[in-house]
Structure 1
Amino acid sequence: MAAITAEIAAYCAGLDFASLPAEVQERTRFLVLDLVGNIVRGRHDAESTPALIAASRALGLAAGGSAVLGDSARYTPAGAAFLNGALAHSLDFDDTHAAGTLHPGAPVIPAALAAAEMVGADGRTVLSAIVAGYEVTCRLAVALPGGDHYDRGYHPTATCGAFGAAAAAGRVFGLDAAAMQDAFGIALSQAAGSLQFLANGAWTKRFQVGWSAMNGLAAATLAREGFRGASEAFEGKAGFLRAYAPNPQPERAVRGLGQEFELMQTAVKPYPSCRYGHACVDAAIALRGELGLKPEEVESVTMGLPNKGMLLVGAPLAYKQNPQNVVDGQFSGPFVVSCGLATGHMGWDSYALLQDPTVRSLLPKINCVEDPEVQALFPDYMAGKLTVRARGQDHVRLVKVAKGEPDNFLTEAELRAKFHGLADAVLGAERAAQLADAVIGLEKAADVNGLMRLGAPMMAARLAGE
């Protein structure tokens, strides 16, 4: 058995942002910008935030000097990692990695930022750490592989994310390869996350991602202080890959390590919902515009999805056709397509339409099926096929590469527009623009303190939990 853990640990310990290809550097900055916008708005709007804030205060996590973006209060490092991680995932608008079936940024970036505040790390170090965290998170997911892990009921964003968070925090702390292995061994004792949230739209999906960010920070901190972690955390007999999936491919975790970047296979979301529905939303908005469709003209709709997409957004159909809360809506293919057909738009504010009569009238008309053509494209493409019957005709649109996918990535202008759509309501447009500039210029920053300060609202804003 190859020494997978040791090889990954050595890579993370030695990773230097300045030596990375220019396109990897740029994409990393863009991914940080995307996640920061999610955190700021999640602190303001997500319905689970008041309980998270109250519990963090009760647990003593709100008594420190670390920042939560979108909040003017200060928290402990653990509290900041936890809350920034949970808030990043609360809108379901954060980045995705198709082959790994996860969201790598939400556990990794908050751990890196919290660690950076602890030790005063500079921006180049933080960006180096974030790349390390993405590579660990995504490479473990594809080595499981993610589909088998999902079938066992695990949530890979949380499970794999704990190791990515440990890698990120460990790189910020300057851990050597041996200590990085210890950090992974400690994270192994904390890797958890269940898909049972799908049964009732539970908020545990958000919680467990934030908790994994905190777990990774804790693992790296323990390793920094000399605490011994389990060896062979990834490939061992009771290691992560063998314990959490039936047929792992450990060698896949190190294939092309340092030469091929899984970070570059990460997509960003133009819509705040499960990624499996996005291609069909693209199709719905396009067909509505091209045909001038009115909602009342729609007779029936069929969403063609891959198998994993059916699991998350298509079945059971009766449940997906009757979403009652935001989480239900985020994982309802019929709802997001209804919004696209009814309004030509699917944004965070679309969840105010959960009980809208026009949207409700479309929901029972939308069926979800596993489509062989779409399945054949997965996981290389997060494709979708929409068939809309209207005016007595079937209008079919296959979207192979959804907007935001690595091969159809958002431009900086589009990312900034998404960022302002999230952050302006909390920070004001001018401060949000300053925060965006700070993120894009992070590599030259002496520390992250200025960036984190810009993430605190100065204007009167209604914060959840206040």
Structure 2
Amino acid sequence: MKHDPQVSIHPLAQFAATLRWDDVPAAVQQRAEDLWVDWFGSVLAGQGARPVQSITRFALSQGLAGGPSEVLGQDAATSPMMAALANAAASHVAEQDDVHNGSVFHPAAVVFPPALAVAQSIGASGAELMAACVAGYEVGIRVGEFLGRSHYRIFHTTATAGTLAAAAAVGRLLGLTPAQMQHAFGSAGTQSAGLWEFLRTGADSKQLHTAHAAAAGLMSAYLAKDGFTGAQDIFTGPQGLAAGMSTDADPTRLTDGLGTRWATAETSFKWHASCRHTHPAADALLQVMQDH
């Protein structure tokens, strides 16, 4: 795959493709490692849920038996894509996975599962794995901020921005060039999906959202590595993400402080097993109960 010299490389693709663990400040490294440990608790807590079990059974039936990538908590291993599918489903069901408030995005559920699956498959080092995860966080959070609150009214941002976050993390592990990363973003963006309509009946779609984002992002990166091309202006093109999924998209958010502002460090932990929007009320109730 040759890069068209008339097409400029988006700074976000350049950043994701070239980030090294040594480039990440020590405090951000520590936060990334803490987020990793926190994610393990979420995925293990969620793996027994009924919707997750359905997706896991599907993944194990369709994937390579005894493959290189673990399905956590299941004493089973399969292909990277199917392991990412199952682990991402389990990551977002206990409602205690991490959150970035500004982007309304839960990075761990869609970054760590595909990154771990691929790292196990290719024998990546711990530093390579964590650099890829930080790349995924930084990309996903910025895409969520870019798409804005109008997007969130209809779309589950963790599912949509998460597809690009997964592509960034896996692409970094695979050693994609910046041009290849841009193609991976194009393929991931065209697969971005996840509608809130399921909330009306309490359907199981939320687990499908994270599973699909992780698997689709992984596939996008592998395809780009093999020369598969994607849209070159998936963010702001006339038929791209902003045009189809937002009325208040802000392209400046994609590169805001890139390499100096570490959105990974802005990501927080949940102290209650519920949507972050409910936490102030929960804290207030607990304080009243303690005082009275």
- Report TM bin, short chain: over 0.9
The CA deviation at 1:286 is 1.4
In structure 2, what is the equivalent of residue 109 of structure 1? 112
Equivalent position amino acid for 1:91 in 2: A
Q: Given that residues 139 and 254 in structure 1 are in contact (C-alpha distance below 8 angstroms), is that contact kept between their aligned partners in structure 2? A: yes
* Preserved CA contact (<8 Å) 1:4 1:250: no
Query: Aligned equivalents of 1:263 and 1:166: distance in 2?
Result: 17
Cα shift readout 1:425-455 (whole Å, capped 9, x = no counterpart): xxxxxxxxxxxxxxxxxxxxxxxxxxxxxxx
Contact 1:4 1:234 (8 Å CA) reproduced: no
Q: State the Cα deviation string for residues 17-74 of structure 1 (Å, max 9, x = none).
A: 122211101000000111111111211x323222122222343465622101112111
Matching residue's letter, 2:19: L
Counterpart in the other structure of 2:135:
132
* Number of residue equivalences: 286
CA distance in 1, matches of 2:201, 2:227: 42
Question: Secondary structure at the residue paired with 2:247?
Answer: coil
Q: Aligned equivalents of 1:54 and 1:16: distance in 2? A: 36
* Inter-partner Cα distance in structure 2 for 1:106 and 1:121: 20
- Gap runs ≥5 in structure 1: 292-466
> 35, 38, 58: which is aligned to 1:31?
35
Matching of residue 149 in structure 1 with residue 151 in structure 2:
yes
Q: Match for 2:89 among 86, 97, 107?
A: 86
Seq. identity, %? 38
Q: Is the radius of gyration larger for structure 1 or structure 2? A: 1
* Alignment check: 8 A CA contact 2:171 2:184 kept: yes
CA distance, structure 2, for counterparts of residue 18 and residue 144 of structure 1? 30
Amino acid at match of 2:195: S
Secondary structure at the counterpart of residue 11 of structure 2: helix
The answer on whether the counterparts of 1:5 and 1:234 sit within 8 Å (CA) in structure 2 is no
Counterparts of 1:105 and 1:61 in 2: how far apart (Å)?
A: 25
Greater fraction strand: 1
Does structure 1 conserve the Cα–Cα contact (< 8 Å) formed by 2:110 and 2:211? yes
Tell me which residue corresponds to 1:263: 264
- Separation (CA, whole Å) in 1 of partners of 2:282 and 2:64: 39
Residues 4 and 33 from structure 1, CA distance in 2 versus in 1: closer, same or farther, beyond 3 angstroms? Answer: farther
Tell whether the 8 Å contact from 1:234 to 1:241 is kept in structure 2 after alignment: yes
Distance 2:280 2:12 in 1: 34
CA distance in 1, matches of 2:203, 2:74: 24
* Distance verdict in 2 for CA 1:5–1:234, change over 3 Å: farther
1:35 aligned partner, one-letter code: W
Give TM-score scaled by structure 1 length. 0.59
Q: Tell me the equivalent position of 2:26.
A: 22
Q: Which has the higher contact order (CA 8 A, sep 6+)?
A: 2
Contact 1:107 1:164 in 2 (8 A): yes
**Within-5 A mapping of 1:268-347:** 268-291=269-292
Find out whether 1:119 has 2:125 as its counterpart.
no
In the alignment, residue 90 of structure 2 is paired with which amino acid? L
1:100 corresponds to: 103
> Aligned with 2:50: secondary structure?
coil
2:289 counterpart SS class: helix
Please state how far the C-alpha of 1:257 moved relative to its aligned partner: 0.5
Work out the CA distance in 2 between the residues paired with 1:134 and 1:9.
13
Match of 2:191 in 1: 190
Q: Is the 8 A contact 1:56 1:62 kept in 2?
A: no
CA pair 202-63 structure 1, distance change in 2 beyond 3 A: farther
